[in-house]
Amino acid sequence: MTRIPFTKMHGCGNDYIYVDAHLHPIADPVAAAIAWSDRHKGIGSDGLVLIDRSPVPEADFSMRIFNADGSEAMMCGNASRCIGKYLYEKTHPWPLPVKEGNGYQETEIRLLTLSGIKILYLHIVDGIVESVTVDMGAPVFEDESLFNPTIGKSLSTPLHYREGQGGGSALFVSMGNPHYVIFTDDVDQVGETGRALEVHPAFPQRCNIEFARIEADGSIRTRVWERGSGITQACGTGACATAVAAALTGRAGRKSSIVMDGGTLSIEWCETDNHVYMTGPATFVFDGEIAWDN
């Protein structure tokens, strides 16, 4: 039995357990994620995130994410922001260059994920990371390994798939992981409908399901059923997918405020490079140690 140091953090309420896997490797992260994520018998979280040095020179650090059910996620926007804050505020001395100007500092981190390398831009004031912008890359609308459009057309009304631009009520968007964004006044159907759609045959690797409503002030109220975790307070990739779907169907412009259960994320789908940029906070909750038969 060993004692594993960990840090619990959240991004807009999307909470994970973070472990420096370089110093404290976890032999069975699937079992650890299931046990530690239990909100009654464990630490309590949406999953486990392992931070490590990058095995390739193109990135500075790497992350692996295991959902509360033990399944491994390809990418998590909220977790990537938290990693930026964790690395900057807990790594001494800081190994990467820092830019200064206009009363704040900024640094960049190249983070290796299962969906590729993501660039984190840390916005630092007085040595504290106040927010993080993540270059989430370009959205993808056709990926039959994640979404089968033929089966998708059979989804019952109003949860149907509409190809191309227009006013369709639902749209598949991949942000390195699969999302199905449904525009509806009833965002509170997230539990019952989200649970069913996650495992719909249209999604060969299961799917994250977003329920989005355009508000009078132009913001987009969104609730999320996350693949492998259920209802969560927020989902960074889900916020990006929602903003892209809203812009693509003419419901919003290329900049959106996505209001989730745990907070608000600012999303920009940039015309010049087709990349989606997500900006939001990251918050420490507490540090601890857990006894684990590793």
Phi (first) and psi of residue 242, to 5 degrees: -65, -45
212 backbone dihedrals φ, ψ, rounded to 5°: -125, 140
Q: pLDDT, tens digit, for every residue of 260-277?
A: 999 999 999 999 999 999
Question: Which is nearest to 211 in space by CA: 170, 176, 182, 174?
Answer: 182
Identify the CA nearest to 3 among candidates 24, 34, 28, 30. Answer: 24
Q: How does pLDDT run across 21-78, given as a tens digit for each residue?
A: 999 999 999 999 999 999 999 999 999 999 999 999 999 999 999 999 999 999 999 9
- Residues of each domain in the chain carrying CATH 3.10.310.10: 2-137+280-292, 149-274
Mean of the pLDDT values across residues 210-238? 96
Instruction: Render 170-195 in DSSP notation, one character per residue.
Output: EEEEESSSEEEEEE-S-GGGHHHHHH
pLDDT value at position 101? 63
Looking at the predicted structure, is the pLDDT value of residue 138 above 80? yes
Average pLDDT of the chain, as a whole number: 91
85-115 pLDDT per residue, tens: 999 998 866 777 777 765 566 789 999 999 9
16 against 93, higher pLDDT: 16
Q: What is the pLDDT of residue 286?
A: 97
Cα–Cα distance for residue pair 195/189, rounded to 1 Å = 10
- For residue 214, pLDDT beyond 50: yes
Q: Out of 189-193, 207-211, 213-217, 287-291, which region has the weakest mean confidence (pLDDT)?
A: 189-193
The predicted structure's pLDDT at residue 159: 42
Decide if pLDDT at 209 tops 90.
yes
Q: Are 201 and 186 in contact (CB under 8 A)?
A: no
Q: How confident is the model at residue 294 (pLDDT cuts 50, 70, 90)?
A: confident
pLDDT for position 162 = 39
Q: Which two tokens stand for residue 57?
A: 């020179």
C-alpha–C-alpha distance, residues 185 and 221, integer Å? 10
Residue 164 confidence (pLDDT): 39
Q: Is residue 192 exposed (0-12), middle (13-18) or buried (19+ Cβ within 10 Å)?
A: exposed
Active site residues: 76, 235
β strands within the chain, DSSP E:
2-11, 14-20, 47-53, 61-67, 72-73, 99-101, 104-113, 116-125, 128-135, 170-174, 178-183, 208-214, 220-226, 230-232, 255-260, 263-269, 276-280, 283-292
The DSSP call for residue 32 is H
For 15-24, what is the mean pLDDT?
96
pLDDT score recorded for residue 155: 64
At residue 192, φ and ψ (nearest 5 deg) are -65, -50
Q: What whole-number distance in Å separates Cα of residue 253 and Cα of residue 236?
A: 18
Eight-state DSSP code of residue 156: P
- Asked whether residue 281 carries a pLDDT value surpassing 90, the answer given is yes
Closest among 215, 217, 209, 205 to 235, alpha carbons compared: 209
Cβ(120)–Cβ(111) below 8 Å: yes
Tell me the C-alpha distance between 36 and 30, whole Å. Answer: 10
Measured distance CA(206)–CA(77) in Å, rounded: 18
Give me the percent of the chain exceeding a pLDDT of 90: 80
Amino acid at site 281: P
pLDDT of residue 168: 53
Q: Which fold has domain 149-274?
A: Diaminopimelate Epimerase; Chain A, domain 1 (3.10.310)
Going by pLDDT thresholds of 50, 70 and 90, the confidence category of residue 149 is confident
Instruction: Please report the pLDDT score of residue 151 as a whole number.
Output: 79
d(CA 105, CA 17) in angstroms, rounded, equals: 27
CATH architecture under which domain 2-137+280-292 falls? Roll (3.10)
At 165, is the pLDDT very low, low, confident or very high (cuts 50, 70, 90)? very low
Apex 226 CA angle, 220 and 229, nearest 5: 140
- For residue 8, pLDDT over 90 is answered with yes
Q: What is the pLDDT of residues 177-197, one digit of tens each?
A: 999 999 999 999 999 889 989
